[in-house]
Chain A
Amino acid sequence: MRSFFLFLYQYRAFLVFILLEFFALFLVVQNSNYNRATFFNSSNAAIGSILEVSSNVRDFINLGGTNKQLSEENALLRKQLNVLKDRLNQPDDADTSGRFSFVNARIVNNNIFLLNNTLTINAGKENGVFPGMGVIGGGGIVGKVKRAGKKYSTIVSLLDIDVKVSAEIKGKINLCTVQWDGKSHEYAKVLYVPRHYQLAIGDTVLTSGYNAIYPPGITIGTISKINLPQDATFYDAQVKLINDFTSLSHVEVIVNKDLPKLDSLTITEGNE
């Protein structure tokens, strides 16, 4: 027994090293798990408020660019409003109006150069933001709420190599997938487009209706590069994201009123 303790004492530095290293790697694995909430992240009130002060300074410097971006988005929305006004007069088979509502928030921290990028916004449970909700802004999609604190929330960015978004190509393909490849914050990959479709550069990529996070028809970007190797089943295509993640400053969190109903439906189906 004594020699065992002597052994422990002799290699104490190495043992502490192993212990700390394992603890750090445990944190890495635990943090990458979507469902597990940890206390130490940017949705924590203290951390969030420090990041907010720093973003106030940056926002002040960027005011010109932000104004331009907002006015461009206004113009786009006004255009869409006109289209919708026309459509209101026609009967619709499914009542989707009023299914989604929005919570406005400001980005206080935004990573774009990591592989699993996150954003922090200054709205939390107090404002009705809860994990799992979709986030849009700047005319396109931004991400999904990962953790919600009281006043701040952490968003998994679209720029995360593990995130897949259910998408469609306007007027052509009903279902494909958009996923970021970790390289440039301006581009993502479009996956699972079968080769018998005629894909063209400039096609618009939208969110599909096959998910409960984003409303259907929100722009993701436009096809910028197409590659179809002889032996491939699917296109290898690149989409230029409509959002410039470097200058994004305001976002809207989507509240889907049907989400609890949809979730309970999936759970009962799974049990049967």
Chain B
Amino acid sequence: MNRDNLLRIATFFTYVLFQVLLFNKMVLWSKGFAFIYVGYLLTFPIELGVIPAMLIGFATGVSVDIFSNTLGVHASASVLLMYIRPYLLNLLTPHGGYPLGASPKPSVLGFSWFSTYSIILILIHHLVLFFVEAGGFHLFFFTIQKVVLSTLFTFSVVILIQYLFARKKDTR
């Protein structure tokens, strides 16, 4: 177990605890949620295999689910997020390719690249999340409002966390 992995596990607990104890209570106009744990999933190294990535996504989602009694809802959205992440990374490859061993973070690849990358994935994650929660399309417009507002809220908080807690010499 190297230092990076230990740090990732510590980060996992920090993210999940902050999510369930703080951010689950912070809801804008009863429609906007900040699912900050998505930020944890977004910033795994680019070379991470898709199968371990999906398992990590599932574990994170289930941990959040247990606390809010929504078993399976966050898990399904997070697994999908981790499955399509490599495809999107492929599509968004910058000119000259990714630096070796890099993580998709604003400190490494820049603000605008990270915004495109994270907004797309957060939007897909939230679409699945809220429609699975609603159990169908019968509350369509209400759910869409939730998705859009929550995507903006989650994105803002994820960006903020990235800049607040970026390590000084973080090139990876």
A113 touches B54 (CB 8 A): no
Contact partner of B50 (CB less than 8 A), chosen from A13, A42, A116, is A13
B132 touches A51 (CB 8 A): no
B79 touches A184 (CB 8 A): no
B30 touches A185 (CB 8 A): yes
B71 touches A31 (CB 8 A): yes
> Which chain A residues numbered 1 to 42 have a C-beta less than 8 Å away from chain B?
12-13, 16-17, 20-21, 23-32, 38, 40-42
**In the docked arrangement, what's the CA distance between A120 and B69, Å?**
9
B51 CB within 8 Å of chain A: yes
B58 touches A116 (CB 8 A): no
Q: Render A31-64 as a binary contact track against B, CB cut-off 8 A, 1 for contact.
A: 1100000101110100100110010001000000
**In the docked arrangement, what's the CA distance between A42 and B21, Å?**
13
Q: Render B66-98 as a binary contact track against A, CB cut-off 8 A, 1 for contact.
A: 111111110110011001000000000000000
B48 CB within 8 Å of chain A: no
Q: Knowing A16-B51, A182-B142 touch, does A31 contact B72 (C-beta < 8 A)?
A: yes
B70 touches A31 (CB 8 A): yes
> Which chain A residues numbered 113 to 150 have a C-beta less than 8 Å away from chain B?
113-116, 118, 120
Q: Total A-B pairs in contact (CB under 8 Å)?
A: 98
A111 CB within 8 Å of chain B: yes
Size of chain A's interface in residues, with CB distance under 8 A? 40
Contact partner of B69 (CB less than 8 A), chosen from A20, A25, A118, A183, is A118
Closest-by-CB residue of A relative to B130 is A115
**In the docked arrangement, what's the CA distance between A39 and B133, Å?**
20
B46 CB within 8 Å of chain A: no
Give the shortest distance, in Å, between A113 (CB) and chain B (any CB).
5
**In the docked arrangement, what's the CA distance between A118 and B24, Å?**
13
Give the shortest distance, in Å, between B137 (CB) and chain A (any CB).
13
B27 touches A21 (CB 8 A): no
**In the docked arrangement, what's the CA distance between A20 and B51, Å?**
10
Give the shortest distance, in Å, between A155 (CB) and chain B (any CB).
10
Q: Which B residues are within 8 Å of any A CB, using their own CB?
A: 21, 24-25, 27, 30-31, 33, 50-51, 54-55, 58, 61-62, 65-73, 75-76, 79-80, 83, 132-135, 139, 142
Can you sample 6 A-B contacts with CB below 8 Å?
Answer: A16-B51, A24-B75, A30-B72, A38-B71, A44-B66, A58-B25
Q: Which A residues are within 8 Å of any B CB, using their own CB?
A: 12-13, 16-17, 20-21, 23-32, 38, 40-42, 44, 47, 50-51, 54, 58, 109, 111-116, 118, 120, 154, 182-185
